[in-house]
Amino acid sequence: MASINFTPPPRVRDFIKFYTPGALFRDYIVGPFGSGKTTGNFFKVIYLAGLQTPSPVDGIRYVRVVVVRNTAPQLRDTTIPSFFTWFKDGEAGQWKATDRKFIMRYNDVHIEWLFRGLDTADDVKNVLSLETTFAVLDEFVEIPRAIVDALEARCGRYPSAKDGGATNWGIWGASNPGNEDNWWFKFLEEEHKPNVSLQQLVLSRASTAYWKQPSGFCAEPENWENLPGGKGYYTSLAQNKSEAWIKQFIETEWGFSQAGMPVLATFSPELHVAKMALNPNKLLPLIGGFDPGMRSAMIFGQLDLQGRLYVYDELVQRDFGAERFITDRLRPLLRNRFPDFEFIVSPDPASNQRTPTNESTVVKTFKAKGFTVRIPDDNNRLPPRIEAIEHYTTRLIEGKPALLIDPRCRQLIRALRGGWRYNQASTGTETPEPLKNDHSHPADAFSYLCKYTAKNSVREAKTKEKRRQGPLVNTYAMR
């Protein structure tokens, strides 16, 4: 094989070098367009092939890798050309077009590259019958979990025991960030911290690594020296693109499905999310806006004396009835984070109705446990709730935003950024109610918090205005 020089950028370098010796490992990287991550996908194979134990039969290090893309056209038009940019047919190895196979031999290494799309059931069946050392996923966010799980079980099956078996084996992939309603988001962003140092991963014998490249707009974007226009590449790329597109494909932020419009257009993370943790005031009541149900949420906030709403924490859970929620989630949080606070629950007005499972109501359950419950009114319609939220998102008080959310409220922030969306009808128009998804529950709970505090804020403002004006004088009686 001809000599090839590749110097990976920092995140790609760590992505290439991560593996767990003697066990299945998983390794994933997301980044903007042109950041070198796809190239890293390929060079990780080269790096790990050199670490395989040579066969006791002939001293060759045998590796078989399957490179997977969700469709054959994308594989043909994008993945394979990217591979040939570095590994040319006739120089780095021999390409067998009919089998979509590339045979690479250099030094004491023998690599068999298999390129596969997932267009049909037969394609999937064929991929999942392979015996490989590694599996590589190009644009992994487009590949379903069932296929990824099955591919993991095919890794480490090559080479055979007579050739020494696999020394290390695993699955990895590179991609632009996907949408937050994709299973990959929960797996990577919620279950694994990005960019943990390679040394820490090795010391802990971690089986999974997640790497997140910096924004294309940062001072030193990865791989900029190989991009047309250098550091100006991303500025040019951003022209005529939507804000959502720029955040996802240049700034490396996970996006949202484009089906349906966001419910709230006035929320700004830059304005309404605090830069550091917020400290609650023990002298003010703590309010918990509550959306009940088996997928429930409670958002905790306070209204200060100037009428600003501060949001401190969130509880979002599945399969918790009211009693279990109080015992297992609410009381521990109040005890540990908000001890001795006056606490008021402001739930969905429908909480006053009996639940399908018993003759009680959510409100009665809270009251029976000693909680104060206040429902501003019995109107549960969406427009008044949005109006209550926008009472805070559209106002400044003494030059500062009327709403500030603690950065720990990750699920609420994601919902307000765009995850809380209208359902999209088959005609393409928005239906009057939001889609019920993982984002709608914290957003609904937040709306009940806003509705309660906004009503009290307006009442207090009227009281202050009356005090400022002083007592009214009956001028007719004085004549």
Same domain as 172, residue 106: yes
Q: What CATH number did the domain enclosing 376 receive?
A: 3.30.420.280
What is the per-residue pLDDT for 425?
55
Same domain as 274, residue 219: no
Residue 39 within a domain? yes
Averaged over 63-85, what is the pLDDT? 95
What pTM did the predictor assign? 0.68
Of the three residues 226, 259, 289, the one that is the final residue of a domain is: 226
Query: Per-residue pLDDT for 426 more than 50?
Result: no
Domain that holds residue 35: 10-226
Average pLDDT, the chain: 89
Residue 368 within a domain? yes
Same domain as 159, residue 308: no
Averaged over 79-86, what is the pLDDT? 96
Q: What CATH number did the domain enclosing 193 receive?
A: 3.40.50.300
pLDDT tens digits, one per residue of 269-284:
989 999 999 999 999 9
Same domain as 187, residue 281: no
What is the per-residue pLDDT for 265?
87
Of the three residues 226, 243, 277, the one that is the final residue of a domain is: 226
Same domain as 280, residue 153: no
Residue 470 within a domain? no
Of the three residues 193, 210, 226, the one that is the final residue of a domain is: 226
Residue 260 within a domain? no
Query: Per-residue pLDDT for 475 more than 80?
Result: no
Residue 80 within a domain? yes
- For residue 62, what pLDDT band results from cuts at 50, 70 and 90? very high
Same domain as 125, residue 24: yes
Three-class DSSP labels, the chain: CCCCCCCCCHHHHHHHHCCCCCCEEEEEEECCCCCCHHHHHHHHHHHHHCCCCCCCCCCCEEEEEEEEECCHHHHHHHHHHHHHHHCCECCCEEEECCCCEEEEEECCEEEEEEEEECCCHHHHHHHCCCCECEEEEECHHHCCHHHHHHHHCCECCCCCHHHCCCCCEEEEEEECCCECCCHHHHHHHHCCCCCCCHHHHHHHCCCEEEEECCCCCCCCCCCHHHCCCHHHHHHHHCCCCCHHHHHHHCCCCCECCCCCCECCCCCCHHHHECCCCCCCCCCCCEEEEEECCCEEEEEEEEECCCCCEEEEEEEEEECCCHHHHHHHHHHHHHHHHCCCCCEEEEECHHHHCECCCCCCEHHHHHHHCCCEECCCCCCCCHHHHHHHHHHHHCCEECCEECEEECCCCHHHHHHHHHHCEEEECCCCCEEEEECCCCCHHHHHHHHHHHHHHHHHHHHHHHHHHHHHHCCCCCHHHHC
Same domain as 442, residue 295: yes
Residue 242 within a domain? no
Mean pLDDT lowest for which of 117-131, 301-315, 339-353, 446-460?
446-460
Same domain as 364, residue 460: yes
Same domain as 312, residue 187: no
Same domain as 309, residue 180: no
Q: How many domains does the chain have?
A: 2
Residue 75 within a domain? yes
More reliable by pLDDT, 432 or 196? 196
Same domain as 276, residue 196: no
Same domain as 300, residue 197: no
Residue 132 within a domain? yes
